[in-house]
Structure 1
Amino acid sequence: MGQYQLNSLIKMANQIAANNTHIGDETAEAAMVANHLSKFWARSMKAQIRDYLESDGSELLPIAKKAVAQLGS
């Protein structure tokens, strides 16, 4: 995947995280985001966002970072 695709994944992960901030508990919010990513993202998408988190991750919102960190391989 190229930089454009990575930017799209970052944007989507942040949007999903932003849409799940209504609970008020960061741990539960991150779990909801991780669950969503696990269910609806392709393995290649999850791998690329995990790689991004490990190499930089600076553009991910805190909840998105926690969620991506929870993703299995």
Structure 2
Amino acid sequence: MSRSQLDTLIHMVNQIAINNAHYDDAAERIHAHLTKFWARSMKRQIVDYLQQDGSELSPLAREAIERLAQAQTEARSASA
């Protein structure tokens, strides 16, 4: 993945976080959005970024991506 592609994903998830920040369940809403609308490859890339660095993610985006990573881990465990 190129750095520009990663920068785009980071920007997108941070914007989604800004747009949902006013909800009490913002992190869950962001997680649901990523699950529903992002391609599997996009989700994998943003989770990988969080696990390797994650420094450019807003705290709310980070929380949502942590939920996404947890859901991916649980899905892998369930199918094994």
> Is 2:63 the counterpart of 1:60?
no
RMSD: 0.8
Q: Using CA pairs below 8 Å that are at least 6 residues apart, which structure has the higher relative contact order?
A: 1
Q: How does 1:1-73 map to 2 (within 5 A)?
A: 1-23=1-23, 25=24, 28-71=25-68, 72-73=71-72
Q: State the structure with more CA Rg.
A: 2
Q: Which runs of 5+ in 1 are unaligned?
A: none
Q: Which has the higher helix share?
A: 2
Runs of 4+ displaced beyond 6 Å? none
What's the % identity of the aligned pairs? 56
TM-score using structure 1 length: 0.91
* TM-score in terms of structure 2 length: 0.84
Matched length: 70
> 5+ unaligned residues in a row in structure 2: which ranges?
73-80
